[in-house]
A and B are shown apart, each in its own frame.
Chain A
Amino acid sequence: MNEVQAEAHEHPAYQRHHFETIAQQFDATNFAMWLFLLTEVMFFGGLFTAYLIMRNWYYPAFVEASHQLNIGWGTANTGVLIVSSFTMAMSVWNAQMRRKKGLVACLLLTFVLGLVFLGIKSIEYTEKYEKHHIPGFHYSMSSFLDPASDPEVHNAYPEDKPLQLDMARHTELYFFLYFAMTGMHALHMIIGIGILAYLIVRAQAGDFTTGHVTYIENFGLYWHFVDIIWIFLFPLLYLISRH
């Protein structure tokens, strides 16, 4: 076997011993992150499949149930996430430019925007709880059997007809999918916020402004991915009747 003598040269401290070059390390971890996101796509794919089938079967129930969601809050949350994606992208840029203050500030902003998203989400969840729209827990169909009993939504969507009991029952499936999909998304947000907190502490210590941008870059990919999931969830859950 032909072998070359490995040259002894200086490595940055953050290069793991089993990589030949820092470029190889960056490539490998970056590729691993993309693959991980691919598994996430498949994970959410199961839920999206269930959603599409049920929506096809019980379209009227899904339309009326979707009118229970507050488009204002949904739009606000979409905006919050898009801005947080921007601040995350700026964090990556700041890390690459080795600007510690900018990096910490952008990560903090992303962190706060993530919390704002969860805050708005919890307001929406509370509304569902108050109207007994949480599936499995004393679920109430009165808003769909008799829309007039729910004046707030009825005034916003006066054309909604009362559903037959048979169809109204399936609004529960809509709400289950709503909670499963947004809940799974929120869980990813919570994990992301936890990691952000850790990254902020390390960024403050100056760990990511030495040229070691892998963590920030890969976390950025994760954060953008979680945003993209929401970009799909928003029209599928909130805007069913608007096309």
Chain B
Amino acid sequence: MTNEAKDLLGNALSTDERELVDIYTRLKTLSARDDLPPVATANVKQAMVLMWNACNDLALICEEPGCD
């Protein structure tokens, strides 16, 4: 699970929110690798972006949107 325990408003993350952030963090790490086959890299990036949407809209994270 992630170490980020609070959202942008300073509220403690719920169990569901912690899980969302955790999945996003793992996908972000995976999508930054350059040793995976193209099929994995491209689809992981897409999945990472969609998880970023969920976490960003729920104010769980605030990261540079331009960065993939």
A and B from one assembly? no
